Chain A
């Protein structure tokens, strides 16, 4: 069955380290998204991609980067982890740009920055 996976599911790192969170989907969806979820803030968009080699900044992109070298994967990199980046991170995908698209979410990665 097609699915969207995230790894690792849990990660503890230290301030200043580079961290990469993986997201892999097998639906062949064009669109992929990264969100962070924090108490009191709901879901906030970090970066998104509408296809291979396309990346766009979201609402809270500072300190994060993404690259899209194939359809299936959109890794999220924290260049120099900060305690403010402690959060739960969700990856999502959807079939195409435009209206009437539901998003399919991964199970999330809980990141703790000490």
Chain B
């Protein structure tokens, strides 16, 4: 069964707005990763946050992790039409494979 659950399932915003996606998980983790999937393509790794980190930035991406609430958020600032994709969180418990959530479909309207 899925470890991570993204929220919302779908999100539609205007270009230039910020997009926030959330991920909740159930068991302890070593790290949490976010991936993007463009339509018809494989997943691409975006960012990894370790369990002892609370916030991480990469370009227009900001990821937070709250291990006490077992939740993470991905913020995309100043969104662009090219950000339209599905976004997945994946939890890494250590020596077990990543477990992916069901994803959030983001639509950025120009």
Residues of B within 8 A of A35 (CB): 100
B residues less than 8 Å from A40 (CB atoms) = 102
- Nearest A residue (CB) for B43: A105
Between A and B, how many residue pairs show CB distances below 8 Å?
53
In the complex formed, the residue of A with least CB distance to B101 is A42
Pair B95/A107 contact, Cβ less than 8 Å: no
A48 nearest in chain B by CB position: B97
Q: Are A99 and B94 in contact (CB under 8 A)?
A: yes
Contact of B45 among A41, A43, A90, A102 (CB under 8 A): A102
Residues of A within 8 A of B (CB): 33, 35, 40-43, 45, 48, 58-59, 90, 92, 97-108
Which residues of B are in contact with A by a Cβ distance under 8 Å? 1-2, 30-31, 33, 40-45, 48, 50, 88, 90, 92, 94-95, 97-103
